[in-house]
A and B are shown apart, each in its own frame.
Chain A
Amino acid sequence: MNGELLDVKTYGRAWLDGWNRFWFLPADPLTLGLLRLLAGAVIFYTHLAWTFELETFFGSRAIIPAEHRALLNDGMSFTWSHFDWLPSALLWPAHLSALVVMAMFMVGFKTRVTSVITACLVISYANRATGAQFGLDQINAFLAMYLAMGPSGESFSVDRWLKARAGIPLASPCVMANLSLRLIQVHMCVVYFFAGAGKLLGETWWEGTAIWGAVANLEYQTLDLTWLASELWLVNILTWSTLFWEVSYPFLIWPKLTRPLWILMAVGVHLGIGLAMGMMTFGLIMVVGNFAFLTPAFVRRWAAPLAR
């Protein structure tokens, strides 16, 4: 009995140590800085594009009524947006100011403040555009949120450049950098797990033809892949490998042995979707999310000249 209790205690202690190592080891903020630069660029472009249809989607008589969100949610809506109370005259100034803040976040200028404002803006725009938002906004929002939590302006940034000029040494590893990266990693696993699990309900994913359904959809198509109609074995391989990769992602992205392959698959799949189905912004932001799994050593080796 005592031996069993000891085992439980030992197991509990090991589990706790594992939890602490996972979340609370200090980490180099280098990877976080790279993510800020890349995610910041996608976020900036996403909102710059809104400029072409600003009045249509965010004006006082926007195409999606403001009450649409409340009616979606049984009358109780916490889908806040600053556009709900913004006077019409301030629509353009507010949008241009938002773009300036997002550009500052992207280049890492006054990052501590601009990261928090950017995260709020991303959520606010996406909420107001309920009905026209999609995966891009969802990934943009959580990346911006986690990047605002950690020291994402400590590398690849104007802030870092200014500090270097003032002789301030590089930021040392810190727990918040690790926490931010871990939250991005875990969130990516949640996204892929449910994306994969949802596909397991679909017969075309099981019979290996789902990729055909994606490339043969004219509304999405930007690259003609209809030649795949004559190469159905390839459609089968692409479908099943995508399914296996998504479902196994939460498990096989962690081991050192499989991680590089799973990241490479992510780059291939998402850039492929971006090129063939016209969703390059979504493809890019998913690739950026995957870069949370790059080690600081890897980032330092490949991008050091830009970082500091």
Chain B
Amino acid sequence: MASRDVVHYDTPLQRVLRVLAVIFVVLYLIWTLLPFVIMFVSSFKDLLAAFKLPEVGDWMGIGVFFDFTPTYKHYATLFQENNFGRYIMNSLIAAGGSAVISVIFGSLAAYSLSRVDFRGKSDLFFWIISTRMAPVVAVMVPLFAIFRSLDLVGTLPGLILAYTTFNLPFAIWILKGFFDNVPYGIEEAQMVDGATRFQAFTSILPLVAPGIGAFIVLCVLFAWNDFLFAAIIGSGGAKTLPVATRELVQPQNIQWGAIMAAGVVTTAPMMLLGLVIRKYLVTGLTMGAVKE
């Protein structure tokens, strides 16, 4: 898929539109990035400095925002008093665990759905997708009842299971598209070369790696950012970062500094992950869609 040169001829209208487009992009960038900037900067300010604002209309006073002495005390509070190290681990285990389990079962199921014809296949496939159609909130109460009777509430395995329930159909759905695009001839060649069916399956996994990569990212993002499951099913023993951050809001005392620091701690890993696999993610998501 080589990019093509787009031939275009400027009219005055297009020039105006181009300027407008630039303005729009700049505003959009400010709109999306400013909260992160404020969060990041505020996490290094003590409370007094954080709430120092310039007068309304005083654009020259904007420097006030950056006039502070950096302090690391909020981060120290998080890790020393609030046990955030543990919550980071919980988040990592819950997100990573469900991603790994979903990929293993998802790729096996997607491969079967892609390669084998059996009775009721299309119904089965629709049913798998349809489990994602109901809003999560709608099934939360029954799910909680089931998890409670299985003693899974407040445990990491419980949380992993809950995330997997929602990630697995997604994995099957995405990966089936990728398997569909791998020519069956490659596995046939493998089998004639002397591979078992399972070896043939594993041999084409590198070809769906972009799909698996893309899925893992989406799956980790979903679990990492999730609040609802974590608050209801993970509460207590399996507290994750979003829930722990929420608990920094106490009736008498909203710990703004710690909340900002927790926001940075929660956001930074996902941003890094996004940067590292950005290229992968784009090829992954488009490769399944366009047949070459």
Interaction A to B: no
Chain A residues proximal to chain B, CB less than 8 Å = none
List the interface of chain B (C-beta within 8 A of A).
none
